[in-house]
Amino acid sequence: MDRTGKIILVVSVLAMLGGMPLAMKLGLIKMSPPVEDENATSTNQVTQAGTNTLGTNQVVQTGTNTPVVAPTNSPTISTNTPATTNQPAPPVVEIPVPEESTLSLTNASNKAVFTFTSLGGGVKQVDLLQFPKEVGPTFSDGGPFRDKVETDGAVNPVALKNTGKLLPLLALQPNIGKPEHEPGSPRPYQTNAIPYKLELVDDQTVRATAVISGGMKVIKTFRLKEDYQLEAEVVLRNASGAYMKESGFYLVSGSVAEPESTSRMMGLNFGLMWSDGAEPVSVGPDWFQNYRGGCMCFGSKGERNNYTHGQGNVEWAGAYSRFFTQVTMPKEPGQMLVAHQLLVPTQEKPNRKAFETAIVWDVPSLDVGKSVTNNFTVYVGPRDFKRLESIGLEHGNQLEGIMDFGGWFGWVAKGLLLLMTWFNGVGLSYALSIIAITVLIKIVFWPLTARGLRSMKKMAAVNAKMMPEIKIIRERYKGDHQKMNMKMMEIYKKFGVNPLAQMGGCLPMIIQIPIFFGFFTMLRTAIELRGAEFLWVTDLSSPDTVMEIAGFPINIMPLLMTATMFLQMRLQPPSPGMDPAQQAVMKYMPLMFVFILYSASAGLCLYWTAQNVLTIVQTKMTKVEPEAENVVEVIQPTKKRKRKDGNL
C-alpha cells in the first residue's frame, strides 16, 4: 500500500469511529427508535382500577380526578398582587375537574383493543395485540436479547396513544379562531377535553353524548369492525331552543409523537399525511422547520406552525410512525385540514415534538330540534400495503398513500415490497426473500453486466501497453489540457480503445441505484421485517447489534457488506488512464459506505451484501478469450472503413 492509500485508510477509519457520535451530537443525523413506535408505551392494563384489563368491555370509573389538559389557547386568569406584603393574597379558585371514565372493547378478530374516554368522547388508546412492543436485541438488562414475553405470560402489545396534551382521536372541538402560522401559535380549536357520557350499546358498539357550544348536542356512535377499523357516526342536534347559525368544528383525525428514546438507527420516519384524491401530501418536521429548498443544509427561513389546506376536498387525513398509522376517512370530504406541532417534553427529550391533525366539518344553520349527520371510518393499525390498498378500494380513495412511497423511487419500492411478500407467500422467509429478489435482479442484468466486465478486462490489458505513451503526453502537455486531451484521444484511437467503453462497466451500477433507493424506501416502512429473524439477526428492520463496547454498537452485517465491497473492488480492473490517486480513492471507497450505512437496517445491508457476493461470482465467471486478450488492433488515424456496398 502506498503512502496515499495509508492516509486515506487511516482517515476513513477515524471518520467511521468518531464521525457518527459527533454527527449525532451536532444533530446532523436523526435516528429512529430501536424498537419502533413512538406511542408504544402500553401496559397490559388500560386503567389504574385493576378490574378493567384489555377486552373486558366494561365502563370503569377511575375514582380519581384525572386532570384535563389545560387549553393552550384559552385565556389565563390573572390577578394583580398588591405591592405591599401586608395585604392578604387573593383566594385561589379551584376549578373542578371532571372524573374520567374509560371503556375498552376488543374487535371480533381479536387484533385490537380500542379504549374510549369520556374526556373528549374519543379514542384514547388502541392496543395492537398481534404486535409486541419489544423486538430485537437490547443490552440494558445485560442481554444479549430481551425476552419478548412478560412475567405474567402475556405479550406486551404496541399501544397507539392519544393522551397528555394530545386530544383523543375523533374528539370534536369547536372552532375558536383563524389558524396562525407563527412559532408557538395555538391550535385554532378548543383544546380542553369536553366531558362526555359513555354507554355500552353492545360488545362492539359504544355511544358518547355531550352538550357543547351553547346547546349543540353531540351523539357519537362507535362501531368496531375487523381489520383494525372503526366506524363512527356523529350527529349534531340543535338542543338550544333557538335558531343556531352555521358553525365550524374540528374533528381530530390522527396524532403522532417523536420517539421517547434515542437510537443509532437511521431512517427515522414519522409525520402527518392527507389526500384530496390526487397525490397524497406529507407534512412532517421539515415543513414546520421551514427549511430553504426543503433541505436542512440550506438553513431555516424561520419556524412556523398550523399547516392548513382549505380546498374542501380532504378525503382522508392522519398520522404515521415508522410501522403504524391512525387515519380518518370522512364519508363527506372535509372542508379544511389543519396540522399542528406541539411539544410533549420528557426528561430525556425536553424538546420532544408531537403532531396533531384535524379535519374541519362546517355545520350548516339548524332550526330548533334539527340535526346533521356525518360518518367517519378510522383505521388504527400497521402500515400494511395490501391491507391499506384494499381498504382504499373499498372507500374509493388511495389510502395506501399513507405508506409514503412517493417520490422518484416510490414505484420501485412498491414493486419490491409486492415481490418480497410474494416470495414469502410461497414459503421463503423474509431474509431469503430479499436474497431471492437480489438473485432475480442479477439474472435480469446479467448480460449487460457481463458485457461491461469483458470490456473493462480488455481495456485493462491494453492499458498496460499504452500507459507509457499516456505518461509522456501528460508530462509534455501538463500546462495545456486541451492539447493533452487531443493527444490522448489519438493514443486511444491508435490502440483501438474507446474511452467511453468503460461506461459499460459502470452502467449496471448506475441501473442499480434506483433499486437500492427503492429497497431503502421499502425497508424503512415494511412492517413485515419488524421482528423477522435471520441467523444471528433478530430484527431485519433494525441494525444487527450483537454487543456494545464502551457504548458503541457492534453491527456485523454492515461489516460483512464492507468486506465484500473491498473484495469486489479488488477484482474490478482499473479504468484506463485513471490517475493513481483516483485509484486509491476508489480502492478505499467502501469505508465511506460503512460510515453511511453502519446504522442502516439489517435487511438493507443483507441486500447489498448479497448483491456484492453475486457480483464477485459473476466477475470470476466472466472470462476474456485468450486469443482476444493480447491482440490489440492498431487503427491508424488516416484509416477509413469501407461501406457495405464496397464504396469509400
In which band, very low, low, confident or very high, does the pLDDT at 60 lie, cut at 50, 70 and 90?
Answer: very low
pLDDT at 338: 93
pLDDT at 37: 37
Residues 574 and 516 in one domain: yes
Residues 385 and 501 in one domain: no
Cis peptide bond prior to 285, omega within 30° of 0: no
pLDDT at 222: 97
Question: Is residue 376 over pLDDT 80?
Answer: yes
pLDDT tens across 142-183, in order?
Answer: 333 333 433 333 468 889 999 889 999 999 999 988 888 888
**CA proximity to 543, closest of 592, 603, 590, 594:** 603
Question: Is there a domain that residue 648 lies in?
Answer: no
pLDDT at 577: 52
Residues 394 and 479 in one domain: no
pLDDT at 594: 79
Domain boundary (404, 424, 443) is at 404
The structure's pTM equals 0.74
| Residues forming beta bridges with residue 314, ordered by sequence position | 334
Residues 387 and 469 in one domain: no
Mean pLDDT, residues 453-466 taken together: 69
Question: Is there a domain that residue 311 lies in?
Answer: yes
Question: Please, are residues 306 and 334 in contact by the beta-carbon 8 Å criterion?
Answer: no
Rounded CA gap, 577 and 500, in Å? 12
CA distances from 3 to 565, 587, 589, 610 (A): 22, 13, 16, 32
| Residue that the C-alpha cell 465484500 belongs to | 564
Mean pLDDT, residues 111-133 taken together: 93
Question: Is there a domain that residue 74 lies in?
Answer: no
Half-sphere exposure in the Cβ direction for 397 (13 Å, CA): 25
Question: Is residue 85 over pLDDT 50?
Answer: no
For Cα atoms 377, 378, 384, give the angle at the middle one, nearest 5 degrees.
Answer: 120
Question: Is residue 231 over pLDDT 90?
Answer: yes
Rounded CA gap, 7 and 13, in Å? 10
Domain residues for 254? 163-404
More reliable by pLDDT, 208 or 467: 208
Question: Is residue 310 over pLDDT 50?
Answer: yes
**CA proximity to 235, closest of 377, 379, 376:** 376
Report the percentage of the chain scoring pLDDT > 70: 69
pLDDT at 153: 39
pLDDT at 187: 93
Q: What are the grid coordinates assigned to 579, written together? A: 490517475
More reliable by pLDDT, 318 or 571: 318
- Residues 6+ positions from 394 with CB-CB distance below 8 Å: none
Question: Is there a domain that residue 208 lies in?
Answer: yes
Question: Is there a domain that residue 549 lies in?
Answer: yes
Asked which of 86-100, 191-205, 322-336 is least confident by mean pLDDT, the reply is 86-100
Rounded CA gap, 439 and 606, in Å? 12
Please give the single-letter amino acid code of residue 328: T
For Cα atoms 243, 248, 249, give the angle at the middle one, nearest 5 degrees.
Answer: 115
In which band, very low, low, confident or very high, does the pLDDT at 68 lie, cut at 50, 70 and 90?
Answer: very low
Asked which of 85-89, 227-231, 571-575, 577-581 is least confident by mean pLDDT, the reply is 85-89
Question: Is there a domain that residue 589 lies in?
Answer: yes
Question: Is there a domain that residue 309 lies in?
Answer: yes
More reliable by pLDDT, 98 or 329: 329
pLDDT at 428: 92
Please give the single-letter amino acid code of residue 523: L
Asked which of 104-113, 499-508, 565-574 is least confident by mean pLDDT, the reply is 499-508
Residues 463 and 336 in one domain: no
Residues 497 and 387 in one domain: no
pLDDT at 56: 42
Question: Is there a domain that residue 143 lies in?
Answer: no
Rounded CA gap, 277 and 259, in Å? 30
pLDDT at 611: 87
Q: Is 450 left (phi over 0), alpha (psi -120 to 50) or beta?
A: alpha
Question: Is residue 49 over pLDDT 70?
Answer: no
> Judging by DSSP bridges, how do beta strands 172-174 and 157-161 pair with one another?
unpaired
- C-alpha torsion sign, points 483, 484, 489, 494: positive
More reliable by pLDDT, 258 or 250: 250
Mean pLDDT, residues 564-581 taken together: 69
pLDDT at 581: 65
Helix (H) or strand (E) holding 492: helix 481-494
pLDDT at 230: 95
Residues 536 and 606 in one domain: yes
pLDDT tens across 165-175, in order?
Answer: 999 999 999 99
* HEC string for 550-598: CCEEEEHHHHHHHHHHHHHHHHCCCCCCCCHHHHHHHHCCHHHHHHHHC
In which band, very low, low, confident or very high, does the pLDDT at 434 lie, cut at 50, 70 and 90?
Answer: very high
Domain boundary (351, 384, 404) is at 404
Question: Is residue 590 over pLDDT 90?
Answer: no
Rounded CA gap, 635 and 637, in Å? 6
Asked which of 193-197, 273-277, 484-488 is least confident by mean pLDDT, the reply is 484-488
CATH code for the domain in which residue 341 is found: 2.70.98
Question: Is residue 9 over pLDDT 50?
Answer: no
Rounded CA gap, 159 and 37, in Å? 8
Question: Please, are residues 416 and 519 in contact by the beta-carbon 8 Å criterion?
Answer: yes
pLDDT at 61: 40
Residues 480 and 392 in one domain: no
Residues 464 and 384 in one domain: no
Please give the single-letter amino acid code of residue 205: T
Report the percentage of the chain scoring pLDDT > 90: 27
| Residue that the C-alpha cell 383494525 belongs to | 228
Domain boundary (404, 421, 448) is at 404
pLDDT at 152: 39
What's the distance, Cα to Cα, between the start and end of the chain in Å? 52
CA distances from 631 to 58, 461, 467 (A): 87, 9, 16
* Mean per-residue pLDDT of the chain: 75
Question: Is residue 45 over pLDDT 70?
Answer: no
The burial class, CB within 10 Å (0-12 / 13-18 / 19+), for 352 is: middle
pLDDT tens across 538-565, in order?
Answer: 888 888 888 888 878 888 998 998 889 8
Question: Please, are residues 49 and 60 in contact by the beta-carbon 8 Å criterion?
Answer: yes
Q: How many helices (DSSP H) and strands (DSSP E) are in the chain?
A: 13, 21
Mean pLDDT, residues 74-101 taken together: 51
| Residues forming beta bridges with residue 173, ordered by sequence position | 250
Residues 390 and 482 in one domain: no
Question: Is residue 461 over pLDDT 80?
Answer: no
How many structural domains is the chain composed of? Answer: 2
Mean pLDDT, residues 443-469 taken together: 73
Residues 593 and 474 in one domain: yes
Question: Please, are residues 369 and 219 in contact by the beta-carbon 8 Å criterion?
Answer: no
Residues 470 and 614 in one domain: yes
Mean pLDDT, residues 426-448 taken together: 89
Rounded CA gap, 203 and 470, in Å? 84
